[in-house]
Amino acid sequence: MSTPVADALRVPNRVRDTLRRGEVATVLSIRLVRTPEIVLLARAAGFDGVFVDLEHSTIATDAVSGICLAALTAGITPLVHVRSAYSESIGPCLDGGALGIIVPHVDSGEEGMTAVMAARYAPRGNRGISSALPFFDFRAVPSGAATAAVDDATLIVAMIESREALDRIDEIAAVDGIDVLMIGANDLTADLGVPGEYGGDLAQAAFRRVIGAAESAGRFAGVGGVPVESGNLHDLIQAGARFVSAGIDLRHLGRAITSWNDQVRTGG
């Protein structure tokens, strides 16, 4: 018979489990909506997870935690796109309920290791131990088992967004503790001098370089910023990308209301 403590020490992560099955995990980026309703909309749409985009928004820490707690309750994975690889950016998000971080502009193995040190418990990192975490309904549980369970459930996603990162992709992929190498298509194509040219030879070669490095190192490959309507996103999934950002809530809302208004005005 299971006990409350034994049950509590199983920390589910839908995105992690989907990736481990070799399937495509889709996540919705949150930049506009600051309340938990967005989580239920994402779940209803079939997303595996959500991530709060702090790099490009002014969302406060309390709102981040509220969204993460709602996602935990809803059974989808809460992630946070942090502002930097340092502990002051990462720690509060993870202790507030996130089951992973997306780290922008990881340009070297050293920067990847900085994120790992902040996000993982000893011996792989130096994340501070909290005596009460939302993954266990804030109950007191044995520290060693709790940290092991949380560490296993925590995803670290390194965003590859520059030519320098491409040049050092193998050392980034080799960092113990990184789970996903994620193509940041907008910044990467801009740094390569071909902004928005997702289907061009230069961009495609760069994208496939990231996917290949991830596969060679036993990591997962991800992609964000490539519009689904371009056809290039499907090609990248076929090439091996498994962690897929669906874009931001703001853009989806804008497209939906624009489409509605067009249909009303044109009678279509």
- At 178 the pLDDT is 98
Q: What is the pLDDT of residues 210-263, one digit of tens each?
A: 999 999 999 999 999 999 888 899 999 999 999 999 999 999 999 999 999 999
Q: Is 155 helix (H, G, I), strand (E, B) or coil?
A: strand
- At 3 the pLDDT is 43
pLDDT, average across residues 93-98? 96
Could you identify the residue written with the tokens 């076929």?
238
- Reading the block at residue 182, the tokens are 């994620």
Q: What backbone phi and psi angles, to 5 degrees, belong to 125?
A: -150, -170
C-alpha closest to that of 54 among 88, 87, 102: 102
- Reading the block at residue 14, the tokens are 């839908």
Could you identify the residue written with the tokens 């889709």?
26
| Pairwise CA distance, residues 217 & 214, whole Å | 5
pLDDT confidence of 268, banded at 50, 70, 90?
Answer: low
Q: What is the pLDDT of residues 52-76, one digit of tens each?
A: 999 999 999 999 999 999 999 999 9
Cis peptide leading into residue 123 (ω within 30°)? yes
Could you identify the residue written with the tokens 């920390």?
11
Does 234 qualify as catalytic in the annotation? no
Specify the number of domains making up the chain: 1
How many of the other CB atoms lie within 10 Å of CB of 250?
16
At a CB cut-off of 8 Å and minimum separation 6, what does 68 contact? 52, 78, 80, 93, 96, 97, 98, 99, 134
The domain in which residue 196 lies consists of 4-266
- Cα separation of the two ends of the chain: 59
Q: What is the pLDDT of residues 151-190, one digit of tens each?
A: 999 999 999 999 999 999 999 999 999 999 999 999 999 9
Catalytic residue among 56, 81, 105, 252: 56
Q: Report DSSP state, residue 137.
A: T
| Pairwise CA distance, residues 26 & 143, whole Å | 32
Q: What is the pLDDT of residues 96-151, one digit of tens each?
A: 999 999 999 999 999 999 999 999 999 999 999 987 899 999 988 888 999 999 99
CATH of the domain at 43: 3.20.20.60
